[in-house]
Chains A and B, each alone.
Chain A
Amino acid sequence: MATRKKKILLVPLDPVHDMGLKLIRKALADNGHATTLLPPGLKVHEVVEWIIKEAGIEFVLVSRTLGYRVGELLARFVDLVEACGLREQVTLLVGGMAVRPELAAEMGFDAGFGPGTSPEEVVAFIEGRHFTPWGKGEESSRKKRDLTSGFSYIYKNKGIERSLALITGEIIDWVSNKTSPGVERARIRFRSLREGEGDKGGGWEKYQDYCAGPIAQYYKEGRLPRETRTLSEDELRSLRQYKNWEGQSKIIRPGVVGPDIFIQYGTGCPLMDILHIKTGEAWGAAGVVHFDPSEGARSEGLLGGYLSHAQDGTLLTWENLRLIKCFLNPLTLWQVRAHRGLNTPETVVLAGEAGADLTKINMAYASLGAGMDPARITVDGVEALRWAAHYDLALDVVTNEELSGVPAHKAFAGMLIVAHLALQLGARPILQPLFCYSPEVMLQGQMRDNYIDFNAAKILALRQIIAAPLWPGAPIGFLTHTEDRVQSSVTTALHACLARSLGVQAISIASSDEAYAGGPIAAASRVDTLRAVQEGFRFFGSANIQPTPRAREWAGELIDGIARVLTDVANSGSFVQSLYRGLLGGPEDGAYPGRIGRGTLRRKEVEKDV
């Protein structure tokens, strides 16, 4: 339905400045409204005379930077409008650098527009509609972004492709006659959710046979682990009734060009997580990542119920995931990580059933950086990749073993093996190089001069190997953050701008609490870095950061190193043995193959296809 055209008087009640009003006048004119822009510096009685003279004015928008006695001046203007009997006829609006809605109301205005207001917001107000930053009627037509869209996954480096084909063929063959408690639980979970009543049918009674430790105890005795509690009905009811954060958001994401920004949530409590997610969405996050507790990855099996606990990371349960999903904006990308533990395949099933868009899998990292037994995680990882393909979940292949000291070229070799395996199994991988101040660069000095070249080299190298989506993480700027929130926000923003400049598809960012270990992340700290990144993107616009020639040199060295490692792994004839032997990162790098889940593999009795 067409909006009726309005008549608006624009009043720069300021000695000199009227630039803001000029921008608003253009936006109003573009939308067909009739405007009159008065010259700056008029006295209030002269403005009122204009309102009387220009018949039919419906809105008066006054612009003024607040300062000494300006409040008095504006209030006098409102009083004079009233005294002349015009108050019922016109809607009075005020805008300027120090204007706040509550201040405008105090002075008698109908609305106030502070710094950062876009002309489109004013137009929306005048037209009596809710402001959506991406424009009239476009919200419903926007679609969630597919980070893998448009990527061919064609290899430019054929030698590396040949090595990967050999390695992944061997892996698929090696796992074919093996199973694990994790594999079996995933299948039970799938049947239970698909075929059972609620989540406890489809052979659910067998589930606990494949659990161990505190999880088995929970299913046998109903006792929750320490510091864990079930959320009450009252809490859940209150949450569902709580609507204050909806409809108030000024979502700043769509106006800014750059990679999709992901934040991690995982306060330990899904209720608090939901508030953090809504805050993140409002301040520009395009995606959110479920950060689960590291302890949960070391236990066979997952708990059930709406659970909160007083530790880092939010427990992975079917109920928690479903609850969080209910509150996600439909356009928000949702990743549930499955990359590092005994519940990898089951987590992918839960993610897929709960409606996630993305997951995270990397057997090399899980072995070398997260303590998993290489054999067990290889079997579970392949199963998880199959489930990711089944649910059409894109997955990032993270390379956090770099933080343990594994050089980038070895970490990338592991990443490419898993990515190639994902492609072989029908899944869609996203490469996740770290933008970090890693032990490798600390020792060898690649970042002695700047943080740009070596991070850029990683992107250049991967692009010369394969046409695949890139999602630096996780978070970008790892090990460059301090507890100073300004420093932390700035380093995040600069790494984000580098990522934007390199044209990657997504980034994961930290909060400004990244280096603070004394307590949970606060919502305000999430706003800090989201705000900083948006400001950085605004600053650079379509301009780029220019790496030095060293970036290309290092990219070449990275490719050579990756090719060498992959040749060694292929020649070894065993991916799992390569992990044990340190070909993808060993003791000399500070990485040791893990032991979690060792000895739990069994021979498959009957071949079952996912």
Chain B
Amino acid sequence: MQYVERILDAVDIETFILAREEGEAKGLMEGYMADLGFTDYDIVFLEQVGPGVRARARAYLHRPGSPYGWLAEDDKGGD
């Protein structure tokens, strides 16, 4: 089983990103998520205070109703 199949629904990535304003941080975070190979992602939270932006991005690996990796894997090895 690939590790991503064991993730129930989503992966959140939180960080503090050095940026002058939230728009810049948003672009950087989106670029980072794309570089990580995520395709279904969103920026959940941005707050610019001080030298940068507190940021949280989310990638959905299993949206409700989609085929669930964790369900299929258990079926294969289920008891």
| Interface set of A (CB-CB < 8 Å, partner B) | 229, 234-235, 237-239, 241-244, 267-269, 271-273, 275, 279, 308-310, 482-485, 513, 516, 518-520, 522-524
Decide: A242 near B45, CB < 8 A? Known: A519-B60, A520-B60.
no
**Are B72 and A238 in contact, CB atoms less than 8 angstroms apart?**
yes
For residue B10, CB closer than 8 A to chain A, the reply is yes
Closest 9 CB pairs of A and B: A241-B78, A269-B64, A238-B75, A267-B64, A308-B65, A522-B10, A483-B45, A269-B65, A268-B64
Which residue of the partner chain, among B54, B62, B65, B75, contacts A310 with CB atoms under 8 Å? B65
**Are B65 and A523 in contact, CB atoms less than 8 angstroms apart?**
no
**Are B47 and A272 in contact, CB atoms less than 8 angstroms apart?**
no
**Are A309 and B75 in contact, CB atoms less than 8 angstroms apart?**
no
* Cβ < 8 Å to A, chain B residues 26-79: 42, 44-45, 47, 54, 56, 58, 60, 62-65, 68, 70-72, 74-75, 78-79
Summed over the interface, the residue pairs from A and B with CB atoms below 8 Å come to a total of 81
Residues of A within 8 A of B63 (CB): 310, 519-520
Which residue of the partner chain, among A244, A483, A520, contacts B74 with CB atoms under 8 Å? A244
Residues of B within 8 A of A273 (CB): 64
Assembled-state Cα–Cα distance A148/B52 (Å): 51
18 A–B contact pairs at CB < 8 A?
Answer: A234-B75, A237-B75, A238-B75, A238-B78, A241-B75, A242-B70, A243-B78, A272-B8, A273-B64, A275-B8, A482-B45, A483-B45, A516-B45, A519-B10, A520-B63, A522-B58, A523-B8, A524-B10
**Are B9 and A271 in contact, CB atoms less than 8 angstroms apart?**
no
Residues of A within 8 A of B64 (CB): 267-269, 272-273, 308, 310, 520
> How far, in Å, is B20 (CB) from chain A's closest CB?
20
Assembled-state Cα–Cα distance A391/B72 (Å): 38
Residues of A within 8 A of B8 (CB): 272, 275, 279, 522-523
For residue B12, CB closer than 8 A to chain A, the reply is yes
**Are A242 and B78 in contact, CB atoms less than 8 angstroms apart?**
yes
Decide: A519 near B65, CB < 8 A? Known: A237-B75, A242-B74.
no
> How far, in Å, is A427 (CB) from chain B's closest CB?
33
- Known contacts A238-B72, A269-B65, A519-B58, then 17 further A-B pairs from the complex at CB < 8 Å, ordered by chain A residue: A238-B74, A238-B78, A241-B78, A242-B75, A242-B78, A269-B64, A271-B68, A271-B71, A275-B8, A279-B8, A516-B45, A518-B42, A518-B44, A518-B58, A519-B60, A519-B63, A522-B12
* Cβ < 8 Å to A, chain B residues 1-33: 8-10, 12
Nearest residue (CB) in B for A242 is: B74
Which residue of the partner chain, among B9, B45, B79, contacts A520 with CB atoms under 8 Å? B9
**Are B78 and A483 in contact, CB atoms less than 8 angstroms apart?**
no
Which residue of the partner chain, among A237, A279, A485, contacts B56 with CB atoms under 8 Å? A485
**Are B45 and A272 in contact, CB atoms less than 8 angstroms apart?**
no
Nearest residue (CB) in B for A269 is: B64
**Are A243 and B44 in contact, CB atoms less than 8 angstroms apart?**
no
> How far, in Å, is B38 (CB) from chain A's closest CB?
13
Residues of A within 8 A of B42 (CB): 518-519
> How far, in Å, is B62 (CB) from chain A's closest CB?
8
Nearest residue (CB) in B for A483 is: B45
**Are B78 and A522 in contact, CB atoms less than 8 angstroms apart?**
no
**Are A235 and B71 in contact, CB atoms less than 8 angstroms apart?**
yes
**Are B12 and A524 in contact, CB atoms less than 8 angstroms apart?**
yes
